[in-house]
Structures are given as structure tokens and as C-alpha cells.
Structure 1
Amino acid sequence: MQLPKLLPTTVVGSFPCVKGSGFLGLVDPYKHAVKFAVAEQLRAGVDIISDGQVRADMVQAFVSKLPGINGNTVIGPIGISEKPITVADTRYALTQTKYVKGILTGPCTLAYALKIETPSYRDREELVLDLAAALHSEAKFLAATGVYMIQVDEPILSTGAMDIETAKEALKIIFKGIETPTCIHTCGRLNTVSSEWTRLPVDVIDFEYSVSPENLSDISRHDLRNKKIGCGCVKSSETQVESVEEIEKRVRLCVESFGAENILIDPDCGLRMLTPEVAFAKLANMCEAVKNVRAEL
């Protein structure tokens, strides 16, 4: 399978966790969940998939593996995990398709989810940079597996709580020496940092549009600086499955704003909190809508 030249579809990352049962489920209940998530994304027609991020929430999936953190508390200098954190599940996804997105929870978001109870860090900005160094190790592992893209999730950035310059430096640390295409995803409105988004050192900027349609006007096509835009065209926070026609309208508006050659289409955010049936239906309708819009171009 070759990736479509226009409007490739993808996911933000998470998929509902359907654990395995029986003896194999006792050994690793999440192995079935990974296989199920991968299979459902492909069945829906998604071009660039994830491993489903089924093993833990976006924070614990990483901080539970990093030296210097106990639970949600920073107790000492952040260290680098001795073993890859996400690679095993990502490697399975790569056996099903070569178009897989490796996903990291961003250091800014991780830092704001943690309590600091150590003199090792004077503030969260210092913590962010050490977390970025730890994530750089995971990014190298993911790149070595052959993922198509590496995405950093930073929902905290749209709130304006974190200095955008710190976020920029953190991304430089994470992606230093990485030749794999890179992406940053955020939730909510972009307006608090909209003037800075296109200056971030990534190849793709991914944001929600379905819930926050104002985001389309926050970034101009003329300011893309050779970057691509990931447009969230399906609401991940609602259980109602949008019709193909409704999603088509959103996709067309994204095309008008940025040009079909400059965008990827995905849901607003992860689908973890939905039922498997609803998550699949949303992805299937999204892929059908994109297929129809491609035919018009």
C-alpha cells in the first residue's frame, strides 16, 4: 500500500482498550488490545496508524518508566529509561503496515502533571528540559524501528501555561539528530500561542478543528514555512458519530484554508474514552469522507 499523495488520514493516537482473556490474557492482557487497535484502524481505512496507546494514560505511560519519578512526584534528577517504553507495541504495528506513527507525551505536559519535591529543579522549565532529554532516547528508539513519523503530544501548550520558547527548546532536544518526520499535537484553541506555532522545529502541526473551528484562522497558509497541518475533523469528545457528509464539509474547509497538498486529516484528539464501536465508526466515516473529497480534487 502506498500513502495517498493528497489528504492522508491518520489518528492522534489512543484507541479504546479491549484486553485479552484466557491464558494469554493473564500473561499480557494488553497484547490483544494492541492487536485489536491496530486491526480496527486498518479496517477503518486509516493511512497512518498508531499502536493504540492502550497500556496506560498518556502521562503514566512515560513517567512510570523514568528514574527520578515516584508516582506523580519528582523525587530526584530525571534519568533515562534503561529500556524502550513504547517500541514493542509500535514494532507490532509495523508488522501490519509501514505507515505507523510513534507517539511521545510531551515534556511540557508531563511536567505540569507532576509535583516537584526535590531541590534538583528550581522550576518546571528546568524539569521540562530533563524530561526532553529522556524522551530523546525514546525518539531514537522509535526512529530506529522505522516509524513513518514521530509525534509529540502537548495539550498543555494551548493553555498558555508553558512558555513557548521552553517548548521550542524541548522539541529541539527530543528531535536532535532524528531524520524521521516529526509532528506536534495539541488540543483546544491555538490563539494563545498562534503566532509561534509555525516556528516550532517540527514538520507537522496537528490541532483540533471540529470542536475549535476558530483554529483554522489562527494559522495562515502563507505562514506554514514548509510545514504540514494535521486537521482534526472528527470530534473525539462526543459519542455521536458524525455523518460522512458532515465530515466532508470540515475537510473541504481545511482544504480551502491550507491546500490539499499541505494537510493530513485525523480526529481532534485520542479516542481512548469512546467505545470500540463508536471509535471505529468515527474513523470509518472520516476515511470515507476523505476518499470522497479526494475524488473532487
Structure 2
Amino acid sequence: MSRNADNRAQFVPENHENDHFLLTTVVGSYPKPKWLNRAKDLSEDEDARFDADNLEEAYDDASEVITHEHERTGLDTVVDGEMRRNEMVEFFAHRIDGYEFNGPVKVWGHNYFDKPSVADEVEYDEPWLVDEFEFTRDVASRPVKVPITGPYTLANWSFNEAYDSEEELAYDLADLVNLEIEKLVEAGARYVQIDEPALATTPDDHAIVGECLERIADGIPEEVRIGLHVCYGDYSRIYPELNEFPIDEFDVELCNGGYEQIDVFTEPDFEPDLALGVVDAHTAEVEPVEEIKENIKQGLKVVPPEKLTISPDCGLKLLPREIAYGKMENMVTAAREVEKELDAGEIDLDAPVPTAD
């Protein structure tokens, strides 16, 4: 069941000028500065006088740069662009006891993924993200969101060599994610996003994801906002079941598909808040403000303004950095303009919103 916790107001900026508030955020990943990739290469070169401490300083610098870049766009909640993360499963597998790596696996074309294996029962050793969060929290002037790859994806995108079923592995991983969130909450985190892209490819397993989320949310205070991000796919295969998930917010990728699936969420009523992708993470063009405003209004078909969060479709790491920045800047401008129009009564919330072309 949706948590329906009253935890949104903490993200309203003190100087917010409108009565209405559309929470603006990012999904997680963001283009890395080119010099960060060069620094990583240097750290792996035995002939270069560039050691682990130098690389850690480079990660710190990049995280600070991108966090401040997010703040300059006006976003209400920011992340560090996942500057320290290489890949969403590999990063966590290196930090979970029980995982091991046996070399890259070809996934498509000439692209390879360092697919990990679960060789033993997974266990929690040291915190995965607390240092990353604390650094970002200290350099940010706005609330920081923490994205975490979800247990179902961590299980589904790994070789399972230790458990009788992938389901059992996912549940053990969910317990570890719960422990990690507890550590993050102790460090001050109030906004956590669980990324489950594997759910879009295997939607019949929504019951497993639901149980994982129950384990993740167990004991987490209501003031901590829990979001779930699911990329692309046929959402009708997980709706209305997702209304039973113990989350505050469901983040969907609909802009890329022209909002063809927006009506999926209108019957029965959508229970959690809706985090709606309003700029396309797959196109290297900055959408005009007016176009983004129309995209935002698509979300008003599903939830009232006080339950609508505005974000890009997905992580932006594959875009040119100036394009990613432009998308965020226009997205925030569009959200603030829609707020003003809502304040002025210029948007009829009962009127049908035309389907996007």
C-alpha cells in the first residue's frame, strides 16, 4: 500500500514564490566531466604518478561541480550525478559480500557489461553510499536525493550461483538495501530512490518487487521519501498492482513515448505521487519551455499538482553535458511557470489534456 506520508513539504525552498509547488528533481546519472574519465585512466596507468588519493580528489571535485550545476538550474533536490559510479549493478556488486567478477559479458553490438556472479550468500559489510551522500550533503545548499539500484535488478542482472532461486536472492538483497537506507537516514538522507529497470523487462514479477519494497521500507521513518524509478516498458502490466507498493512516489519514463501510456494510470486512481519524465533523456536536443509545460500538464491527468513531481525521463549520463544542463534549466523554468498558471486559475484541472503528438 502506498505510504501516503506527508514528506513533500520539506523540499519546498524557503524563497519559493508560488502557492503551488511542483517538486523538481533528477533521476540520477549525469554526464561526467571529460577530465574525470582522463583521471580514471591515469589512475590505472602504472607509469603515471596518479594514485588512488588523486583519483578520490578528482571524484570529489567532479561531484561538487555537478551538484552545484544542478543547483544553478534551480532544481529543488539534487544528486551528484553519480560521478563515483561506473555502472548501476557493478558499482553495488563490488560493495556486497558474496559477489565476484569473472570478466565482461557482451550485451549488444560492441558493448560489454562486467556482469557479476553471486557466488555465496550476500552479506552487508560496510556502507555503500554514506560517504558519497555525506560529501554531497556538505557541498549542497539544497536537499540531496540518493538513488540506489534495487534488489530485483541487482539479482536479475547477475549470475546466480548460490541461491535456489532468483527470488530468494532478491529478498536477501532487499534486506541489505534496508540496512543501507537506515545508515543513510542516520546520516541525514530524507529522499531515497530505488531504481528497478529490470521490472520493465520482466513485469510479471511485480509481486517479487512488491515484497522487496516491503522489506526495504520496513522501519524507515515516514519523513523519509521513498521513490521507485522504472524505465520504459509496458506499464499496463504492473498497474494497478504498483498501487500496493509501499512507496511515496513512482517515477515513469513517458516523454520518449509521447505519453501514449499516460491513460494507463488514470483508472483506477493512482495512489502514490507521480514523478513524471517531461524531457527525453534519449534525444540530444533541449526541449523548449512551452513544450515541457504541455508535458507537465499530462501528469495532471493522473494526479493533482500537490502529488506531481517533475523530472527527466531517465538518467542523462549519455547526453552532451551542455544539453543535459539545458534540459534541466528549461524543465525547472517550465515547472515554475505552470505553478504560476495554477495559482492564477489559468489551468482547468478538470479539463481533458490532449494526448501529445
Would you say same fold, with TM above 0.5?
A: yes
Unpaired segments ≥5 residues, structure 1: none
Q: Distance in 2 between matches of 1:292 and 1:218?
A: 27
What SS does the corresponding residue of 1:264 show, helix, strand or coil? Answer: strand
Query: Which residue of the partner structure matches residue 37 of structure 1?
Result: 66
What SS does the corresponding residue of 1:151 show, helix, strand or coil? Answer: strand
Instruction: Select which of 242, 250, 267 maps to 2:287.
Output: 242
- Matched to 1:150, the amino acid is V
What SS does the corresponding residue of 1:17 show, helix, strand or coil? Answer: coil
Q: Distance in 1 between matches of 2:121 and 2:231?
A: 29
Q: Distance in 2 between matches of 1:178 and 1:37?
A: 29
Q: How does 1:18-97 map to 2 (within 5 A)?
A: 18=33, 19-20=35-36, 25-55=54-84, 56-71=86-101, 72-80=116-124, 82-95=125-138, 96-97=140-141
The structure with the largest alpha-carbon Rg is 2
Q: Distance in 1 between matches of 2:314 and 2:122?
A: 28
Q: How does 1:1-297 map to 2 (within 5 A)?
A: 1-2=13-14, 5-18=20-33, 19-20=35-36, 25-55=54-84, 56-71=86-101, 72-80=116-124, 82-95=125-138, 96-118=140-162, 121-161=163-203, 163-179=205-221, 180-189=224-233, 190-212=235-257, 213-220=259-266, 223-225=269-271, 227-297=272-342
Q: Distance in 1 between matches of 2:122 and 2:248?
A: 28
Q: Distance in 1 between matches of 2:254 and 2:55?
A: 40
Q: Distance in 1 between matches of 2:161 and 2:78?
A: 38
Alpha carbons of structure 1 residues 26 and 195: separation in structure 2 relative to 1, 3 Å? closer
Unpaired segments ≥5 residues, structure 2: 1-12, 40-48, 102-115, 343-357
- Matched to 1:187, the amino acid is C
Cα deviation digits, residues 246-282 of structure 1 (max 9, x gap): 1111012212432211100000001111122111111
**CA-CA distance at 1:3 after TM superposition:** 8.3
- Matched to 2:324, the amino acid is A
Using structure 1 for the length normalisation, give the TM-score: 0.92
**CA-CA distance at 1:123 after TM superposition:** 1.4
**CA-CA distance at 1:287 after TM superposition:** 0.6
User: Kindly, what percent of the aligned residue pairs are identical?
Assistant: 31
Q: Distance in 2 between matches of 1:164 and 1:33?
A: 36
Cα deviation digits, residues 203-250 of structure 1 (max 9, x gap): 11111120131332111276233x211001011111111111111110
- Matched to 1:145, the amino acid is A
- Contact (CA 8 Å) 1:207, 1:268: kept in 2 or not? yes
- Contact (CA 8 Å) 2:277, 2:311: kept in 1 or not? yes
